[in-house]
């Protein structure tokens, strides 16, 4: 069982005024494709009936090769160009991007393997994804395949299995919608459920494509760096103006311009909720445009062997570049000198120093625990007054006999039973991933993996000291 924190996923095509006739995906190839950074495999769908909880062991089986490699050569005395606290995908991408440009980087990870919420663990022949399994930005197309690009930067290529259905929604009033990889198939299915809203559906998703196309035309390095953005503006003024227009808008308001059916508006809420854990009115339109189109543009692809392979590959690539990772290194303090972060201290007392300190820990851990209160930057103080934490997840990972699942079961499901108002309530909805539908190598023969998770406030799990679940 694990609790994790889901962060808003930002993912980002050329708008056309005639949305109805436009299918940007006609030429997408799903099978047997090899590209730089990502290699496609044929996907298999297997069949499945009765649920057997797997036997639990107290010890995790981890890839010792990753651990040992990562420990070599770390020297507290050496001065690094950069230290990265945490080896989640975010930390590893930052570290590898610096390393390939010649920087000497040290990544400090408190756990025993890399990946964080996109990590993995193994038990009794099963390889479980800790969290993430719908991988956005992991295709062979466009500018927004940021995971593919990060892997390619360190010379890594992963074999992937194209997911034919990003998610299968099971919603109130018996509404069942499959988000097919092919955009036209998805849109036609949605229009068949809401025939009176055809025009509204095409217009709403059409606006999403305008955003996606604008983002996809840029070299998306930073949305926060003014000088970089200024340079981009001169190269692509129309696209930048499109993004500036949508920047202050949310998906719910735009949906309401075109759609009246309350069930369809609730469906759009569910579309946003599964990527941002908030409804459409609270989901920035830029975010909605990215994810609701990337899944059709490049498609969702599952890495053969499990999501953990992405972090492992990045970690190996980092070491190949001459940088280092130290596991079981819990950073307890960021060391400040004259108002600047210059080093870190880990729980065993060792200190490491670098010109730049990058934190991949949560924002609240970075500013609330690793830095002393008196060092809190003013911008952060202001930010803390307005931000609201996303809910945590309660996850259950289990192995089941393959025949418990009906044939042709999709890999990813979202279930909200009976009542739309429960969407954002804790425990109100269920996410289900069955990655073995795509990659049977993750489980022993004749078995499937179920990863079931729901939103759950962390406070529900706070217990007096000494109590262990």
Dihedral (CA of 125, 127, 128, 130) sign: positive
Taking residues 7 to 26 in sequence order and writing x for each that binds ligand FAD by CB under 6 A, - otherwise, the string is x-x-----------------
Closer of 37 and 131 to ligand FAD (Cβ): 131
Burial of 362 per CB tally in 10 Å (0-12, 13-18, 19+): middle
By CB under 6 A, is residue 91 in contact with ligand FAD? yes
Closer of 9 and 336 to ligand FAD (Cβ): 9
By CB under 6 A, is residue 110 in contact with ligand FAD? yes
Structure tokens at 238: 């129309």
Q: Is residue 130 a contact partner of residue 4, using CB atoms and an 8 Å limit?
A: yes
Instruction: Tell me how far apart the terminal alpha carbons of the chain are, to the nearest angstrom.
Output: 9
By CB under 6 A, is residue 296 in contact with ligand FAD? no
Closer of 87 and 148 to ligand FAD (Cβ): 87
Q: Which of 24, 70, 90, 303 binds ligand FAD (CB under 6 A)?
A: 90
Closer of 15 and 299 to ligand FAD (Cβ): 299
Taking residues 120 to 149 in sequence order and writing x for each that binds ligand FAD by CB under 6 A, - otherwise, the string is -----------xxxx-x-------------
Closer of 15 and 309 to ligand FAD (Cβ): 309
Shortest Å, Cβ 137 to ligand FAD:
8
Closest CA to 16 of 144, 183, 137: 183
Show Cβ contacts of residue 248 under 8 Å, excluding neighbours closer than 6 positions: none
- Of the candidate spans 68-76, 105-113, 219-227, 235-243, the one that interacts with ligand FAD by CB under 6 A turns out to be 105-113
Show Cβ contacts of residue 284 under 8 Å, excluding neighbours closer than 6 positions: 247, 249, 250, 251
By CB under 6 A, is residue 360 in contact with ligand FAD? yes
Shortest Å, Cβ 303 to ligand FAD:
12
What are the backbone angles phi and psi of residue 148, rounded to the nearest 5°?
Answer: -55, -45
Q: Which of 12, 95, 109, 341 binds ligand FAD (CB under 6 A)?
A: 109
Give dist(CA 258, CA 255) in Å, integer: 6
What are the backbone angles phi and psi of residue 37, rounded to the nearest 5°?
Answer: 90, -35
By CB under 6 A, is residue 111 in contact with ligand FAD? yes
By CB under 6 A, is residue 6 in contact with ligand FAD? yes
Shortest Å, Cβ 359 to ligand FAD:
8
Shortest Å, Cβ 80 to ligand FAD:
15
Which residue is it, tokens 């060391």? 335
Q: Which of 38, 171, 278, 331 binds ligand FAD (CB under 6 A)?
A: 331
Closer of 240 and 326 to ligand FAD (Cβ): 326
Q: Is residue 272 a contact partner of residue 179, using CB atoms and an 8 Å limit?
A: no
Q: Is residue 297 a contact partner of residue 133, using CB atoms and an 8 Å limit?
A: no
By CB under 6 A, is residue 108 in contact with ligand FAD? yes
Q: Which of 116, 142, 164, 435 binds ligand FAD (CB under 6 A)?
A: 116
Q: Is residue 433 a contact partner of residue 89, using CB atoms and an 8 Å limit?
A: no
Q: Do β-strands 412-415 and 447-456 pair in parallel, antiparallel, or remain unpaired?
A: unpaired
By CB under 6 A, is residue 96 in contact with ligand FAD? no
Structure tokens at 3: 């609790």
Closer of 265 and 272 to ligand FAD (Cβ): 272
Give dist(CA 119, CA 140) in Å, integer: 22
Return residues touching ligand FAD (CB under 6 A).
4, 6-7, 9, 85-91, 108-111, 116-118, 131-134, 136, 330-331, 360-361, 365, 393, 395, 453
């Amino acid at each position: 069982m694990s609790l994790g924190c889901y962060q808003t996923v930002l993912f980002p095509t050329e708008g056309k005024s005639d949305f109805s006739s436009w299918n940007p995906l006609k030429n997408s190839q799903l099978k047997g494709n090899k590209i730089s950074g990502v290699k496609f495999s044929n996907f298999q769908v297997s069949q499945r009936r009765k649920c057997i909880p797997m036997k639990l062991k107290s010890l995790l089986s981890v890839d010792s090769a990753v651990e040992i490699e990562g420990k070599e050569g770390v020297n507290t005395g050496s001065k690094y160009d950069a230290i990265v606290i945490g080896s989640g995908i975010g930390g590893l991408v930052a570290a590898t991007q610096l390393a390939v440009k010649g920087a000497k980087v040290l990544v400090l990870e408190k756990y025993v393997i890399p990946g964080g919420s996109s990590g993995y663990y193994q038990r009794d022949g099963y390889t479980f994804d800790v969290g993430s399994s719908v991988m956005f930005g992991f295709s062979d197309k466009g500018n927004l395949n940021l995971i593919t690009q990060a892997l390619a930067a360190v010379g890594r290529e992963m074999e992937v299995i194209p997911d034919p259905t990003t998610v299968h929604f099971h919603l109130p009033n018996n509404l069942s919608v499959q988000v097919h990889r092919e955009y036209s198939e998805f849109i036609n299915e949605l229009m068949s459920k809401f025939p009176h809203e055809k025009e509204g559906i095409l217009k709403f998703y059409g606006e999403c494509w305008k955003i996606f196309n604008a983002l996809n035309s840029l070299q998306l390095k930073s949305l926060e760096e003014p000088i970089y953005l200024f340079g981009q503006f001169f190269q692509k003024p129309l696209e930048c103006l499109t993004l500036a227009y949508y920047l202050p808008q949310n998906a719910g308001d735009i949906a309401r311009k075109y759609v009246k059916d309350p069930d369809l508006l609730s469906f759009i809420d569910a579309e946003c909720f599964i990527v941002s854990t908030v409804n459409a009115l609270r989901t920035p339109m830029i975010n909605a445009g990215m994810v609701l189109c990337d899944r059709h543009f490049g498609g969702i692809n599952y890495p053969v062997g499990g999501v953990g392979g992405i972090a492992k590959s990045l970690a190996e690539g980092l070491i190949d570049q001459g940088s280092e990772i130290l596991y079981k290194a819990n950073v307890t303090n960021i060391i400040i000198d004259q108002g600047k972060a210059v080093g870190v201290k880990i729980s065993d007392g060792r200190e490491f120093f670098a010109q730049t300190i990058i934190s991949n820990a949560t924002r609240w851990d970075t500013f609330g625990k690793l830095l002393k209160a008196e060092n809190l930057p003013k911008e952060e103080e202001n930010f803390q007054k307005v931000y609201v934490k996303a809910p945590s997840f309660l996850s259950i990972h289990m192995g089941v006999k393959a025949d418990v699942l009906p044939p042709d079961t999709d890999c990813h499901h979202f279930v909200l039973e009976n009542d739309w108002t429960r969407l954002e309530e804790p425990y109100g909805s269920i996410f289900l991933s069955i990655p073995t539908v795509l990659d049977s190598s993750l489980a022993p023969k004749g078995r499937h993996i179920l990863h079931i998770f729901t939103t759950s406030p962390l406070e529900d799990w706070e217990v007096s000291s000494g109590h262990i679940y």
